[in-house]
Amino acid sequence: MEHLPNKRVSWEEYAMGLATAASVRSEDPFYKVGACALNKKNKVIGTAYNGLASGKVVDESFWADRDKRRPYMIHAEANLLSLIKRGKCKLLACTLLPCSACATLIAAHGIKKVIYKEVYKRDQMALDIFKFYNIKCECVENKYWDESPIYI
């Protein structure tokens, strides 16, 4: 997909670019996930990433075993939803398809559209949950942010 330098990216591309940028803040060495929320006026109302609760310090050995540390990780979507009020988010962009638990949180927040770049192979139940709650869900892999040097 070729973009001319003066062509403005879509709001979805913008949100996914911010989600991608947020993902680099994650301290998780296995999966860095980012998320971004836009309101009805396409204003950014939050960005977040996966990781531990703010201020929690752990020894380096904590990160060595992915399965042992997994229950303690806060997902990017959960972090993001903790920052915004219910009903305020029009679009949630996430670098990874939300898990089923995050999908139910997204539904509870009244979000009507979710975009993601990559399928979460461990849990794809979110697709059924989004369909059940009439939430539009779209995989937008291989778009502008993957080709542009400004995105990580």
Catalytic sites, residue numbers: 77
Q: Give, in order, the Cα–Cα distances in Å from 12 to each of 16, 19, 36, 51, 56.
A: 6, 10, 10, 24, 32
Render the burial of 54-91: b for 16+ CB within 10 Å, e for the rest.
eeeeeeeeeeeeeeebeeebbbbbbbbbeebeeebbbb
User: Is the distance from CB of 24 to CB of 99 less than 8 angstroms?
Assistant: no
CA 8 to mean position of chain CA atoms: 22
